[in-house]
Structure 1
Amino acid sequence: MKEKDKDKLKEKPVEETTENTLEETKTPSTVDEKLEGIQRELEGVKDKYLRALAEMENFKKRNSEELKRERKYAAQPIADKLIDQLEVFEQALNIQTEDANFKNFLYGFKMIKDMLFNVLVDEGVKKINLVPGDAFDPNTMEPIEAIYDPNQPENTIIKVVKNGYMFKDRLLRPVTVVINQKPETEEQSETKNENLDGNVA
């Protein structure tokens, strides 16, 4: 055998050994990179899952709160309609008479009215109790007239025209009132008009 061929045979195993060594060196690194990639993907999926879970919980809470509100105020439309009928009863009971039979009739009428109102009270209706002299509250009262009595404090109730009612924590109907309010002088009225004109300009 020629010397040249012997050299080739000797060199070949060295090349194979080198290639195997390189493959062994690269393989763990490639696996680690793949594992890191998979781990990142899993972290992303986990993050999306947790976000979706949090959104679902928030949706459930909102939905539950809305259902509670709907149940809480479910009787409000019926209560509003029945209040009108109770006001008719109230007007009828204010009729003055000396007739004994009619008085008995009104007494029975009052019993029916009280029973109906008690049903509404059980559902959360409450009458807004006011008396003349109470301070005017724009949140629960509606003035239909203003008169001035210098012997009474300003912005107080002179007369309750129509009863008002609350339904739980909501205003069902404002109290219609006449309030005590000092009339504006001509000078005050002109000043107010000038201010309004200035704001418009």
Structure 2
Amino acid sequence: MAKQKKEEALKDVNKSEGGTIQTEQETHLKENEEQPKENKGDAYDVEVEIKKDLEKESELNPAKLVEENISLKIQIEELKNQVNEFKQKWIYTFSEYENYRRRVKNEIESEVRNRISKIIENFIEAVDSIESAMKYISDENTLAGIKLIRDIIEKAMERSGAKKIDLKEGDLFDPAKCEVIDFMECDKEEDDKKIAKVASVGFEFEGRIIRPARVIVWKKKQEQKSDGK
């Protein structure tokens, strides 16, 4: 009896489990069957939305589209004008800046040249004083030392940009480079207005005469007229 009851209980359990498994399979099959329906419903909704959008686009007013197109063109032209205006302002500002930069650069360079010229003029005065003193010195050693000092000053002037004016006896007098301190009479016509002697050397700096050369110039002797007596 006990064995029979046990077998009946096992059958009941198997029936119960079999029923549960069958129910889960049926549920799974139902979900699989319903899934395509849901997907089909989503695709249908998208298609409906697209049709609605197309219908709305077809209902647009052509006149309104033309008006919007004209409005966009006007805005584009306004933006182009603004770009051109900003470009012109930038070009003007850049040109003004370049002019200002060049003007400041020229002013600075001019000021530097003027200051160097003043320094060179002071050196020239020192050289003139040394050369004047050399005329009264008889001692050879002392004279050699003073000449050395003069040469050092002249080399310093050359390093600063000063140049001696290249003049020699027999050159034609040039008032832009020379200063006449005296005249000497001559008999020859071809010697008239030529340099007889360079008393002191002239100097220039970057094409500008700092101190003209001091020279003695030949002057043709005037012929005396006889009164015929």
TM-score normalised by the chain length of structure 2: 0.61
Q: Secondary structure at the match of 2:169?
A: coil
* Residue type of the alignment partner of 1:148: E
Q: Secondary structure at the match of 2:173?
A: coil
Q: Match of 2:105?
A: 64
The alignment status of 1:107 with 2:144, answered yes or no, reads yes
* Residue type of the alignment partner of 1:170: R
1:140 to 177, 193, 200: 177
Give CA-to-partner distance per residue, 1:74-104, whole Å, 9 cap, x none: 421111012111101011112263xxxx332
Q: Greater relative contact order (Cα 8 A, min sep 6): structure 1 or 2?
A: 1
CA distance in 2: counterparts of 1:169 and 1:156, whole angstroms = 23
CA distance in 2: counterparts of 1:131 and 1:57, whole angstroms = 46
How many residues align structurally?
163
Q: Match of 2:129?
A: 88
Q: Match of 2:3?
A: none
> Residues 112-127 of structure 1 correspond to what in structure 2 (within 5 A)?
112-127=149-164
1:163 to 179, 183, 201: 201
Q: Match of 1:37?
A: 78
The alignment status of 1:150 with 2:187, answered yes or no, reads yes
Aligned CA-pair RMSD: 2.7
Q: CA deviation at 1:132?
A: 2.3
Unaligned ranges ≥5, structure 2: 1-60, 224-229
Q: Secondary structure at the match of 1:121?
A: helix
Q: Secondary structure at the match of 1:130?
A: coil
* Residue type of the alignment partner of 1:109: I
Tell me if the contact between 2:195 and 2:217 (Cα under 8 Å) persists in the aligned partners.
yes
Unaligned ranges ≥5, structure 1: 1-19, 186-201
Tell me if the contact between 2:186 and 2:221 (Cα under 8 Å) persists in the aligned partners.
no
Q: Match of 2:227?
A: none
Q: Secondary structure at the match of 2:216?
A: strand
CA distance in 2: counterparts of 1:62 and 1:32, whole angstroms = 45
TM-score normalised by the chain length of structure 1: 0.68
Mark the structure with the bigger radius of gyration. 2
Q: Percent identity?
A: 26
